Amino acid sequence: MPGFELFGDKEKSEVEKVLDTGVLMRYGFDGMRDGQWKAKELEAALANRMEVSHVHLLSSGTAALTVALASAGIGAGDEVIMPTFTFVASFESILALGAIPVLVDVDDTLTLNPKAVEKSITDKTKVIMPVHMCGSMADLDALKALCNKYGLLLLEDACQAIGGSYKGKPLGSIGDLGCFSFDYVKTITCGEGGAMVTNNGDYYENAHKYSDHGHDHIGNDRGAEQHPFLGYNFRISELNAAVGCAQILRLNEFITIQEHNYTLLRSALAQIPQVSFRRVPNGGVENYSFLNFFLPSEEITRKAHKALGENGIDACFYWYDNNWHYYRKWEHLTNLKSLGKLPAEVKEGLPDYSKSDFSNSDHWISRTISCLIKLSWTEAEVEKRAQKIISVLRELF
């Protein structure tokens, strides 16, 4: 999956162009740039690839989620519905604004269950945030229908799913807002970076100001710019954006490789009757970054995961015990462990997750193994890997 697997001369060339100018910041220093505006260049390429009107680059995927929420006016006490299976950045971005992360069960798509979402909607709910974990999506039509019914925003966390699509539209472009991560282990990388995408001009205007200390970016004298509202610093650097300029041009190449390797592994695993696969909603196309499959029980899945590791099959994940990606190990959220005082809205409004029943999520995640799909594998390596996985699983059964 990671774009860093295939770093080459294109990435080096783009970075050298920035270093030759000496301007590493995305704003200002117009006379020194020699025409190099890598953040703007990458934003234009992403807008074209994602089929959206507006893109704003940020320093990370976490920053993108935070800025996206802020751009839509989400703040203290507002509730944001998110899945139990995601990365900790999902709830971190919500809490950063004093809003309330409302965890909701996942289904066999491994992301938000629309029926569970509807049961969790209150008069404080403002956003439904599906997270396209491991390269695939939720039932987006059902979630959009809920947003329309209750007057809510749909924010797609597509940080792990760039290159995937739903009914012909790129993932991230379907909601009111979409977010991507370009960190070091994503399908395309900037080293560190992220992006918010939208077709809403107001959200875009808010985002580019909010992420740069409230600067309005009017004119070409940074020192004379106005500050229409408070902001913070979530800027991406020109060096990071330069790497992304090369990587976005390789996205189709990377997706093609991932699909090929994914298909070989899946075809092999499909020979085992006890294996079933994550459901991809009708009209959905994964980005093939992970192969996600279910085994019949938690006990068997634990044994299988251990056996795969013992047999040298790396990059297979058992999320049920994972510290970063599943609610069971989020003690810092459950116990509200914070360096400073949290807003009263958070302390008073956060559900008591120590008493929550997420057994429906446990049913799926406890039986899931996710295999990372690497770009650097040769076909012989993929076939060898497939046979080793089959051998391990057949021995268990």
Which sequence positions are flagged as catalytic? 186
Task: Tokens for 110, please give them.
Answer: 């491994």
Residue 396 CB neighbours (<10 A): 13
Residues 237, 24: Cα–Cα separation, whole Å: 6
Phi-psi region of 203 (alpha: psi -120 to 50; beta: other; left: phi over 0): alpha
CA distance to 100, 238, 276, 305, 391, per residue, from 366 (Å): 26, 42, 14, 11, 22
Burial label, 371 (beta-carbon count in 10 A; 0-12, 13-18, 19+): buried
Residue 128's nearest CA partner among 90, 173, 185, 88 is 90
Label residues 62-97 b or e (16+ Cβ within 10 Å = b): bbbbbbbbbbbebeebbbbbbbbbbbbbbbebbbbb
Task: Tokens for 183, please give them.
Answer: 């960190």
Residues 145, 159: Cα–Cα separation, whole Å: 23
Q: Are 98 and 254 in contact (CB under 8 A)?
A: no
